[in-house]
Structures are given as structure tokens and as C-alpha cells.
Amino acid sequence: MRNLISFNGLYNIFFVLGFFSLTYAMNLYIVFACAILFCLFLGSDVKHRKGFYVYLVSVVVLTVFYLLIHDGGAAYRIFKTLTLIWLTLYIPLVNDLRITKLLHCFLLLNAALIYIDVVLYNTLGFSLTTGVETHGFMRFSGVIEDSNFFSYLLFVYIYYLKVKTGHFNYFLIGAVLLSFSLSLIITMLGVIILFHVKKLWVLPNRNVKVLGGMILVGVFVIYYGMLFVLTTLRDIDTSNDYIAEKLVSLSLRFESQLEAFDALELNDDYCWGLGAGKTREITTEGMNLHNSYLQILLEMGIVCLLIVFACAFYCYYFLDKNFVLLFVAIFLLGNVLEIFYFPLLSFILFLSYIYRQEKVASKLDVSDNIVSC
């Protein structure tokens, strides 16, 4: 694809808009994604324009279909899904990918805000941003939608910096710890341990991805087995026990997910779902499922879920092997939080290609130096 060197900046802006709470909540990042796709279309050759025609046809057909069987909310959701997928598909075609100062400073600013808010709240009783109190802890998230979103995003960037430089950024790690996201902290510790398993990193690319796929399948089986077991924990007394409170919170999420399966079976809507935004109406606690995949299955049906899985497989296939561990970790965490519409999977592919292009450029520099000698 020609003349795409400037699109690196547009992708960086897209991710800032996708992660910033206001533009994420207002879906302004989707508007910007449409603008990027239009610009990519104008800058592409005949071969790559065929992909855009497929996008337009699929958007029109599926949007109209979901509008007819559900409502405008479902029609917009499928449009949003397809737009994010197509923007992700074209990441490997953009030349000279890199992290701009805008995106880098945005991430550092959010980490700094966590430190500032923790100090202000615990000394003066106020904070610059809003937070949520959980069992005596105030959880801040900077200018990102949620403390869990914040911790997941910073973890992805910490991983990228580790792979690129060989060192962990302890300033960012500290901010993640202060977010008190238990699921992410446990995952991060596991990843840090695996970073020291040297045999893992010398395996061929295919072997790494096969191993990652096997882990994904195994953990999915274990997770959904736990789903049926942990729903019995909701009667635990949590008055003075942080861990017990976390277990009960987890069991309530699992219980709402079981209710989602019951609703699908009752309405026989596995193919096309119940419609966007219906989750809160059918769960006893009136809460979202906190599961990217079940939420899509419940509201948009298995057709939409398979489209999302196809996009995830595309990302996985084109990943550099050094990012397989990160992708597996985040994809599994999608069972407890949104990781698709909050564009973490796309961001991982973006960072992987930045790293890959940096490696190629480094090898070329070495070759040039050898020739010049």
C-alpha cells in the first residue's frame, strides 16, 4: 500500500481516543476510525481497495439486518464491530510504525495521575480524578474509563517496553499495583515469571504460537468449569476480608454469566443475540457480564462472536513471537473484562508490528555498517 507513512500518526491518535474515557464513552474514536479507513482507501492501490469494498458491503448488509431484527442499538454495534476489525486488519500494511510522543505521554500522564491522586487522597482527602472505593482502597484510573482498563492498558505498554529495551518500567508497574486490579496483578506476576524462562524465547515462531494456543484452550476449559463452581460462594461473609470480597464479586459475575446462558436458551437467540444493551435487563444484579465474549454472544449472537474471533486469530497469526505471551494473557483476561471494543487486541498487534519493524531497521543498519567497513 503506497503513501502510508503518515498513517502511523493517525493510528496513534486513534488509540489515544480509544483509551481516553470521554472519547471512548462517546464513541468518538469510532468516528475517527472511519476517517482513517477513508484515508487508507484513498491512499491504497487497486489490490487493497477490494478489502474496503468488502467492508462497505458487510457493513450495509449486517447493519440493515440487525436493524430489522433488533433495533438501532444493535445496528450501530455491528457497524462499530466491523469498523474496529477493518482498522485492525490494515495495521500490517502501514509502514514505519512507531509510538509517537502523544501516545507515550498520554500513558505516562495517566500513570503519574495515579501517584498524585493516591497521595492527595490519603493526605488531603481529595483527588484530581474520580475513583471507586473498594473495601477501604480508593481505586483511581487517571483519565481512562475504569481502573481495570487502566491497569490492563499499562500492563500492555510495560510488556512492550520490556521486549524493546530488556528492562521493566517500574514507574508504570507501581501505577498498576496502585490500581488494585487483582486479576491483572496476578497475571502480571505470572508473565514476569515466564519472562525468566529462557527456553521459551528460543523456540521457533510456530512452536510458540502452538503452545500459546494450547494454553488458551486449556484455560478456557478451566475457566468455564469454575463458572459453575464459584457461584456457590455468594453467601460468604465479606465484612472484614478483602479476598473473600473479591471471590464474592467474582461469583456474582459468574452468576450473571450463567443467567446469560439461560436467557439465550430460553429465547433460542444464539445466532443473532438478544440485542445490544439487553444484558442489564436480564441479569438479577442488573450488571454487565464482565466478559467480552459472552457479552457479544448474548447481545449480538454467535455470528458476531465468530467475526470477532476471526479478527483475534488474524492478530495472533501476524504477531511477532515475543508478543504471543502478552496476547494470550490479555485474551484470557477478556473473560473478566472488555478487551475488544476497548481496543487492546488491536493495540497489541500495533505494538508487535512496531517491534518487528524496529528489528528489521536494526538489522539493516548492522548490514550497512558491515558493508561500509
Question: Whose CA is closest to 22, among 153, 127, 143?
Answer: 143
For residues 319 and 88, what is the distance between their CA atoms, to the nearest angstrom? Answer: 12
The model's pLDDT over 30-40, given as tens digits with 9 standing for 90+, comes to: 999 999 999 98
Average pLDDT, the chain: 83
The model's pLDDT over 39-79, given as tens digits with 9 standing for 90+, comes to: 988 888 787 888 899 999 999 999 999 999 999 999 999 99
For residues 52 and 58, what is the distance between their CA atoms, to the nearest angstrom? Answer: 10
Percentage, residues of the chain above pLDDT 90: 48
For residues 261 and 361, what is the distance between their CA atoms, to the nearest angstrom? Answer: 49
Which pLDDT score is estimated for 371?
Answer: 43
Which pLDDT score is estimated for 278?
Answer: 76
Which pLDDT score is estimated for 110?
Answer: 95
For residues 155 and 100, what is the distance between their CA atoms, to the nearest angstrom? Answer: 18
Angle between helices 7-19 and 101-123 (to 10 degrees): 20
Which pLDDT score is estimated for 4?
Answer: 43
What DSSP letter does each residue of 317-347 carry, written as one string?
HHS-GGGHHHHHHHHHHTTTS--TTTTHHHH
Who's near 38: CB < 8 A, 6+ residues apart? none
In this predicted structure, the answer to whether residue 180 has a pLDDT above a threshold of 70 is: yes
In this predicted structure, the answer to whether residue 236 has a pLDDT above a threshold of 50 is: no
Q: Which amino acid is at 314?
A: Y
Which pLDDT score is estimated for 147?
Answer: 87
For residues 305 and 300, what is the distance between their CA atoms, to the nearest angstrom? Answer: 7
Who's near 222: CB < 8 A, 6+ residues apart? none
Which pLDDT score is estimated for 337?
Answer: 83
For residues 175 and 250, what is the distance between their CA atoms, to the nearest angstrom? Answer: 23
The model's pLDDT over 268-318, given as tens digits with 9 standing for 90+, comes to: 677 888 888 777 776 655 566 778 888 898 889 899 999 999 999 999 999
Cell numbers standing for residue 122? 490519603
* Alpha helix stretches (DSSP H) within the chain: 7-19, 21-25, 28-42, 46-69, 72-89, 101-123, 147-165, 170-178, 182-195, 198-201, 205-229, 242-267, 279-282, 292-318, 324-333, 344-372
In this predicted structure, the answer to whether residue 135 has a pLDDT above a threshold of 90 is: no
Which pLDDT score is estimated for 5?
Answer: 42
Mean pLDDT for 90-105 is: 91
Q: Give φ, ψ of 40 to 5 degrees.
A: -60, -40
Question: Whose CA is closest to 299, among 328, 338, 327, 344?
Answer: 338
For residues 215 and 165, what is the distance between their CA atoms, to the nearest angstrom? Answer: 27
- The DSSP element (H or E) to which 139 belongs, if any, is strand 137-140
Question: Whose CA is closest to 339, among 322, 352, 326?
Answer: 326
Q: Is 265 helix (H, G, I), strand (E, B) or coil?
A: helix
Most confident of 99-113, 172-186, 237-251: 99-113
For residues 275 and 255, what is the distance between their CA atoms, to the nearest angstrom? Answer: 20
The model's pLDDT over 239-277, given as tens digits with 9 standing for 90+, comes to: 455 444 444 455 555 666 666 666 666 666 778 888 887
* HEC profile of 30-62: HHHHHHHHHHHHHCCCHHHHHHHHHHHHHHHHH
Who's near 307: CB < 8 A, 6+ residues apart? 81, 82, 85
Which pLDDT score is estimated for 249?
Answer: 52
